[in-house]
Amino acid sequence: MHGFAAASEFYFGRDLHALDAADIALLVGMVQGPSLYDPRRNPAGALARRNVVLGVFRDTGLIDAATFASASARPIGTAASASLPRNRYPAFLDLVRRQLKQDFPDTELDSAGLAIHTTLAPSAQAFGEDAIDSAIGALGRRGEEVEAALVVTGAHDGEVRAMIGGRDVDAPGFNRALDALRPIGSLVKPFVNLVALAQPQRYSLATLLDDSPVDLPQPGGGRWRPENDDHRTHGQVALIDALVHSWNLATINLGQRIGVDRVRGFLASFGLGRDINPNPSMLLGAIDLAPFDVARLYQYLAADGHALPLRAVRGVLDAKGRPLSRYAVKPGASDYATATRLVTYAMQQVAVVGTAHAIADSGLGALHAAGKTGTSDTQRDSWFAGFTGDTLAVAWIGRDDNRPTGLVGATGGLRVWIELMKRLPTVPLLVPQDGIEHVFVDPAAGKRSDAACEGARELPFARGYAPQDEEHCPLDELRRFFGGNGG
């Protein structure tokens, strides 16, 4: 559909969704020979080919006989001067230029005749622009001064399908998607959990964490006393619940147990080229990253634990059509596939009963999406990063002057993501089950439980590392009673 969307703008000067049966048949007919059936070069051949396709549409029931008769009688209706606007997609083209400069000198890029094949999906770009307009418009007065950025990629190939660097989508200049370095807040928490779950002999989704007050010394003096967003503590909580409800204190205590340096090292391994805060506040997202950086991190989760570069260029051809460079995807090894799947399962629960439950509430529950909200201190930045079975999207809303927006992740970035997924065709997320086993546990005790026991929950575990000890419940007493009485 990506190529059809671009061809629609080029030949008709309007969006793919505005085309009728005759126009669509013309585009479908061109697939067999784009040059041979180009309606501007060969209108007679294009007309004949279009009518053949219309006949197929009629014979297969896509259109009725009356529509066939009307459409096949129409002349070719392309716009004489339609083309892809030169000033469209400035944020995406900025990324293209930056990636090309890594491989080609300016003199070669400026030479005539180069053909650059990009990963842009005009339909995804248009849907993203509409999503930002809709989400910000719904904020009313709170949305008057905010800015936005959005990055959309293929979940399994790292291809950048859309990029928006500001709410004025056609304005060149500061590209917030690439250059707005802002604290990511709770978007870091899935990676804290991933580092822990990569040690299945010590941690699982049922591991009990201490959600109690934290009081740590700060470099240069003073004390760091963070709180949960609800200003409460929750005692002993399951690791999965700490992530689903984004409880800060439990996350800090987990990070302290596994080692702040270990988490920092894992984040640094992505080669973001940004300074990673070495202090415990890093565990709550005191890290300044751009939306594109966040997309690189979450691409790892979306791609089932494979490290993928995000790319906007597929290939470059010279004036004679010879390839100068191809950009093939070479995913890194999936060293933490099982841990990634466990984190992804927890993030799916975020979208059902956690901080991003608006996804399920909005009618998108069938996507089984995985994601995480993020909010920086004093509500200056609102983030959401999430993925479906084939699409990853990272949305940010904030102010250029760094003043509070009054928005949290669920009321800003998440709204952009939801509006995008309402428009963009996508598929449900199915988490691979290799290396996973499911057992029922008592989350209050972190032990196995009978499925019929009160509060029992079925959770995934790394195969061979599910809890072995069982927590007794009243059902056990009943079984012993009836068993001992011949019942």
Which residues, in sequence order, are CB contacts of 60 under 8 Å at separation 6+?
none
- Cα–Cα distance, 191 to 197 (Å, whole number): 10
Taking each helix axis from N to C end, the angle separating 189-197 and 337-353, rounded to the nearest 10 degrees, works out to 140
Cβ burial 63-78 (10 Å sphere, 16+ → b, else e): beeebbeebbebeeeb
pLDDT given for residue 468 in this prediction: 87
Query: For the chain, how big is the Rg over CA atoms in Å?
Result: 26
**If we measure between CA atoms, which residue out of 432, 182, 132 comes closest to residue 292?**
182
Average pLDDT taken over every residue of the chain: 89
Contact assessment for residue 71 and residue 62, using Cβ atoms and an 8 Å cutoff:
no
Domain 128-423: CATH superfamily is DD-peptidase/beta-lactamase superfamily (3.40.710.10)
Confidence of residue 335 (pLDDT cuts 50, 70, 90): confident
CA separation for the pair 440, 115 (Å, rounded) = 57
Q: Express each pLDDT in 445-462 by its tens digit.
A: 889 998 989 889 999 999
Whole-prediction pTM: 0.82
255-283 mean pLDDT:
96
Instruction: Name the architecture of domain 2-72.
Output: Orthogonal Bundle (1.10)
13: pLDDT strictly greater than 70: no
Q: Is the pLDDT confidence value at 375 over 90?
A: yes
Residues 287-320 pLDDT 10s: 999 999 999 999 999 999 999 999 999 988 877 7
How would residue 5 be classed by pLDDT, with cut points 50, 70 and 90?
low
Q: Which amino acid is at 30?
A: M
Which has the closest alpha carbon to 302: 390, 425, 193? Answer: 390
Residue extents of the structural domains in the chain: 2-72, 128-423, 436-484
How far, in Å, CA of 473 to CA of 203, rounded?
Answer: 24
Other CB atoms within 10 Å distance of the CB of residue 355: 23
Provide the pLDDT for residue 415: 98
**What is the pLDDT, as a whole number, of residue 103?**
82
pLDDT band at 136, cuts 50/70/90? very high
Q: Do the Cβ atoms of 123 and 2 come closer than 8 Å?
A: yes
